[in-house]
Amino acid sequence: MDLIIKLKQFTKFANFTKYAHGHLTIMIVFLAMFFFPLFTFMTVSNACASGINTFAGTSAASETLLDRTIEKITPHFKDIITEHEKIKILKKKGVKKYAKLNFSFSKKNQKLKIYFIKIIKPDGRIININLNDLTTVTAPVSMSAPVFSNRLMKVVQLPGLSKGSTIDYKFKQTTIKPYMKDNFFTEDYFGGASPLKKSVYKLKIPKGIYYKYAEYSLNEKPEIIKGKKYTTLVWTVLNRKKISHENFTPPLASIIPHVAVSSVKSWNDVASWYSSLTKDVIKPGLSVKNFIKKIEKSRKTRLNKIKAIYDFVATKIRYVGYEFGINGYKPSNVNSIFKNRLGDCKDHATLFTSMLSLIGVKAYPVLIPTLMIPDMNIKLPAPFVFDHEITAIKLKNGHFMFADTTSNVTTFGDLPTMDQGRNVLIIVNGKGIPAKTPVFPPEKNNIFFRESAAIGKNGGIISKLNIKYTGAYDMYKKYMLTSISHRKKLSGVLKTIAAISPEATIIRYAFKNEKSMDKPFLENISFKAKRYAVKSGNVLLFKLPIRVRTILSKITVLKERKYPLVLGYNFSEKDVIKLKIPSGYRLSVKPRNIFIKSAIGYIKAKYLIKGNHILFTSFFAVKGYKIPSSKYLSARKFFNKSIKYLSNQVLIAKKI
């Protein structure tokens, strides 16, 4: 129920701060799904993935029998939504999922009325839930960030729910006043991932009010009924199958069929509305001006001044959000943000923009939907399709460079992966400029392994490994270093070397630049293992490179895909391994040098023999931000070739 309610009103209640609460933490969880996707350097909990893409399992735990929504926009733009849901529980997982119902609403601007909640047992008996049993609690906006909101939830337990039961409930939610005057924007999702028997969405709009709609993953067109006072749009979806899980898919909200309707005529209207919220909060006071004067005196170049301001806002303004009423959309005053050293994403962007203006740099707020929600539809202007705010800096050539100060581990000039490749709205002097954020090339997000190792005559190994992380990997490592204990850090390193060889032990572990906003994160690991190479008589057998990219097989497990393959960012890995073999041994069998190129990436690798040393170099690059399903087969072929090559073994034998 909670999932369905949230999905059906996904954008209606999603402003550009609500779903961005704890943006950095959400970004890191998202990255954890895909970080180290090509090697066994880190392990990722399944819980991370389930928090991002919530699909039903191999068989549905529940089935939606009826999903009926009737929504009415009044002439004064009051929004009245009545929902009637019938959900049949098919498995024990469904019992667990729906054991508690949550109804979310805003304390200040919304009214909630629940008509009934009942459980229809398999034998026909009806259990009517006493509505007095509902309790009101504060809605958990984010479990991982200091965010405070006036959103509440009505919560009730469902006793007696069992396999074969049907949950039947009906409620009404009324939004009293729109935040964007004389406009409405609404969105409806036709069920969740579970199979759906019938879903009806009926929207009543007063005659004379402009509207435009867009459909997503939906073939059905609306029935349009023109009455004396209202125009009614009716969408009906029947017998939709379960949305099956595929690894590395887009967020569920991008896949479920849904429709969006807006009365906003242009992006300039959205920009004008947002500008009206910021005009009285962006003017810097004396304290801010004096701070900038110190930066100007201590930094000579324009670029260094910008970077100094960026670093200050990113590292010194703590992320805290107060989302009460219009403050969920309106940023705080820049002077209070500066004084208190705290604020959410829109506060960060507003302060950064204000400070840059004092050194003559033109910068503008950017409303952006991160990868967690459907992308902004350029053809359907609406104010509430964003979950985040960043900054655009206008360059001398007229182009824009984007910056996100909510991430205190992102180097200036880079962007968190959740911000990349998204349609955005730049607010320039009250006008809206649709744009797209860049997707950085594979070389930007790189891990460079430089290794010096020696194999003993009994198959043991001693290795020194130096690793440099850049781009997305640099962000991840710096974040993890500050968020986990020393014991967990060492545990991660132990897993790394254990994947190389059982019973491996750490000799030394060190790192650098963990707090730097300019220099890449560096890691040094020395380890040894008794059994790395397999010994058989006069032969030693082992694999190079030492890190085997085993997770590629998880990416290519499907023979075909219905949805795009979304790894979330482009990435690359470089390996330079110098391996000393025992005296008296010679290289007997080695993999060939290769260069495999595909539309989505390439791998090149070669071996050089110098005396008793094997020098292996490789570079692996993938355009994995988003691979369309039409290109999946060629991507799968490329990955499988890479897997086959990386599974080859090196054989050294005693000289005769």
Supply the DSSP string of 46-96, one letter for each residue: HHHHHHHS----SS-SEEEEEEEEEEEE-TT--EEEEEEEEEEE-SHHHHH
60: tokens are 């549905």
Q: Which CATH architecture has domain 271-436?
A: Roll (3.10)
CA–CA separation, 516 vs 389, rounded Å? 24
How do beta strands 539-543 and 534-536 pair?
antiparallel
Q: Which residue is it, tokens 């829109």?
A: 346
The CATH 2.60.120.1130 portion of the chain extends over 443-654
CA–CA separation, 245 vs 58, rounded Å? 8
CA–CA separation, 650 vs 656, rounded Å? 18
CA–CA separation, 274 vs 429, rounded Å? 11
3-state secondary structure of 381: coil
The CATH 2.60.40.3140 portion of the chain extends over 2-16+55-263
Encoded amino acid at 329, one letter? Y
Non-local (6+) Cβ contacts of 399 within 8 A are: none
Could you tell me if residue 601 is left (phi over 0), alpha (psi between -120 and 50 degrees) or otherwise beta? left
Sheet holding 534-536, edge to edge: 534-536, 539-543, 649-654, 585-589
Q: Which residue is it, tokens 């309790």?
A: 135
Non-local (6+) Cβ contacts of 166 within 8 A are: 65, 86, 87, 88, 89, 119, 120
Local mean pLDDT, 10-residue blocks, the chain (656 residues): 34 35 41 35 24 49 96 97 97 92 87 96 95 85 56 89 96 92 95 94 97 92 95 96 87 91 97 93 96 95 96 93 67 95 94 97 95 91 92 94 95 95 96 97 95 93 94 92 75 75 84 94 92 90 66 79 92 94 90 92 93 92 93 92 86 85
Nearest to 597 by CA among 631, 638, 636: 638
User: How confident is the model at residue 323, as a pLDDT?
Assistant: 62
Nearest to 375 by CA among 420, 422, 416, 418: 422
Residue-wise DSSP of 312-366: HHHHHSEE-EEE-GGGGTSPPPHHHHHHHTEE-HHHHHHHHHHHHHTTT--EEEE
CA–CA separation, 34 vs 624, rounded Å? 10
User: How confident is the model at residue 35, as a pLDDT?
Assistant: 37
With b meaning 16 or more CB within 10 Å and e meaning fewer, what string describes 331-356? bbbbbebbeeebbbbbbbbbbbbbbb
User: How confident is the model at residue 330, as a pLDDT?
Assistant: 87
CA–CA separation, 94 vs 641, rounded Å? 41
Beta strands in 513-634 (DSSP E): 521-529, 534-536, 539-543, 571-580, 585-589, 594-598, 601-610, 613-622
The CATH 3.10.620.30 portion of the chain extends over 271-436
Count of all residues that appear for the chain in the document? 656
User: How confident is the model at residue 23, as a pLDDT?
Assistant: 46
For residues 535 and 551, the answer to whether their CB atoms sit within 8 Å is no
Residue-wise DSSP of 594-621: EEEEETTEEEEEEEEEETTEEEEEEEEE
For residues 115 and 172, the answer to whether their CB atoms sit within 8 Å is yes
Q: Is 544 buried (19+), middle (13-18) or exposed (0-12) by CB count in 10 A?
A: buried
Query: What is the CATH code for 2-16+55-263?
Result: 2.60.40.3140
**Peptide bond between residue 545 and the one before it cis (omega within 30 degrees of 0):** yes
How many CB atoms are closer than 10 A to CB 486? 8
Phi, psi of 499 (to 5 degrees): -70, -25
Q: What residues does 498 pair with on adjacent strands? A: none
Non-local (6+) Cβ contacts of 164 within 8 A are: 88, 89, 90, 121, 122
How do beta strands 79-89 and 321-323 pair?
unpaired
Encoded amino acid at 216, one letter? Y
CA–CA separation, 542 vs 460, rounded Å? 11
How many CB atoms are closer than 10 A to CB 566? 21
User: How confident is the model at residue 18, as a pLDDT?
Assistant: 36
How many CB atoms are closer than 10 A to CB 168? 19
CA–CA separation, 644 vs 375, rounded Å? 36
Q: Which CATH architecture has domain 443-654?
A: Sandwich (2.60)
User: How confident is the model at residue 148, as a pLDDT?
Assistant: 59
Encoded amino acid at 353, one letter? T
For residues 417 and 30, the answer to whether their CB atoms sit within 8 Å is yes
303: tokens are 């670029």
Phi, psi of 451 (to 5 degrees): -130, 140
For residues 229 and 73, the answer to whether their CB atoms sit within 8 Å is no
User: How confident is the model at residue 166, as a pLDDT?
Assistant: 97
pTM for this predicted structure:
0.88
Nearest to 426 by CA among 503, 357, 366: 366
435: part of which helix (H) or strand (E)? strand 431-436
How much is the CA Rg of the chain, to the nearest whole Å? 28
How do beta strands 321-323 and 147-149 pair?
parallel
